[in-house]
Amino acid sequence: MTPLIRETVKWSAAVGMDPVELQWFDISGLTTARFETTTDVLMECNPPFGKCVVAYRGPSKSHASYDMLMLVVGDNAKDGIIVDMWKGPTGMMPRKVPTMLYITEGDMVMYGPTEETDPVPEEEARLVLGIIAKWYQSMLSGGNAYQPFVRQSFTNKRKIAEGKQPTYDWHTVVINGRALKREPHGGTHASPRLHDRRGHSRRLPDGRIVWVRPCKVGDASKGVVFKDYQVKEQA
């Protein structure tokens, strides 16, 4: 788990979000001098899970260290992807960008605010889409992801009973290109433990690229596996 993910998990829990329900991505390793909106990537790819947090810490045009945090909800852009974003200089209270929605239809990407009374400035909307596009590109080339879980220990049970935040443990998966680096988790190929299979693009025999939605696979009676991701620039 990266230090940035550790920080953002504490912050999200403090504002009422359940970290266990989210898949966490640190894209600080990407080259982010400019986030460009790549329409083709937005058309071809979707979030790998239904609820994702994408975090970035690095230089910006005006600051040596700048933080950006996105909550991305939805797994199919044809149905609509909702995005909340917070940003600001590292060490300061981040500012929330108005919630926005983007949808793909035909060969177009359409986007706008979820509330007419809270419009998203065009420059910020393009920044949000540019970060998402960069994230999608990085997932095609490889990276890691993070998923927290609450260990069922005596201490955690006591903290929860007292209304305190539990101590989170983590599971990490390394993604190399289009193939997952598989780690032994027990069980057999026929009946692995219950886990999330991330959404991914698939090339059909006729050359077309289709999107396979995320889903849960495996046997819950054998246990549950949680995952999280860290993303780096492709060499």
Q: Which helix (H) or strand (E) holds 123?
A: helix 122-141
Greater confidence, 72 or 60? 72
> Looking at the domain assignment, is residue 31 inside a domain?
yes
Q: Which of 109-118, 193-202, 208-217 is modeled with the greatest confidence?
A: 109-118
Is residue 98 included in any domain, yes or no? yes
Domains of the chain: total? 1
Q: Say if 94 falls within a structural domain.
A: yes
| Per-residue model confidence (pLDDT) at position 95 | 92
Q: Is residue 20 part of a domain?
A: yes
Query: What is the residue-averaged pLDDT of the chain?
Result: 75
- Which residue has tokens 């605010």? 113
pLDDT value at residue 151: 79
Whether 196 is covered by a domain: the verdict is no
This prediction's pTM: 0.69
More confidently predicted of 47 and 12: 47
Judge contact between 24 and 53, C-beta under 8 A.
yes
Q: Which domain holds residue 83?
A: 3-144
In angstroms, rounded to a whole number, what is the distance separating the alpha carbons of residues 225 and 235? Answer: 29
- Residues 121-170 have pLDDT tens digits of 888 888 899 899 888 888 876 667 777 778 788 887 888 787 777 877 77
Q: Does residue 117 lie within any of the structural domains?
A: yes
Q: What is the DSSP letter of 59?
A: -
CB 174 within 8 Å of CB 182: no
Burial class (CB in 10 A: 0-12, 13-18, 19+), 221: exposed
pLDDT band at 190 (very low <50, low <70, confident <90, very high): very low
Tell me if 75 is assigned to some domain. Answer: yes
64-88 per-position pLDDT tens digit: 899 999 999 998 998 899 999 999 9
Report helix, strand or coil for 68. Answer: strand
Q: Compute φ and ψ for 211, nearest 5 degrees.
A: -105, 125
Q: Which helix H or strand E contains 9, and what residues bound it?
A: helix 3-14
Are 32 and 134 in contact by the 8 Å Cβ rule? The answer is: yes
The three-point CA angle 39-177-67 to 5° equals: 60
Identify which has the larger pLDDT, 137 or 37: 137
Would you state the pLDDT for residue 232? Answer: 55
**18 or 180, greater pLDDT:** 18
- For residues 200-221, give the mean pLDDT: 54
| In a domain? residue 235 | no
Name the band, by pLDDT with cuts 50, 70 and 90, for residue 55: very high
Task: Give the per-residue pLDDT at 214.
Answer: 60
**What pLDDT sits at residue 161?**
81
Token pair recorded at residue 125: 């909307």
Cβ partners under 8 Å of residue 83, min gap 6: 70, 71, 72, 73, 99, 100, 101, 102, 128, 132
Please, which pLDDT band fits residue 205 given cuts at 50, 70 and 90?
Answer: very low
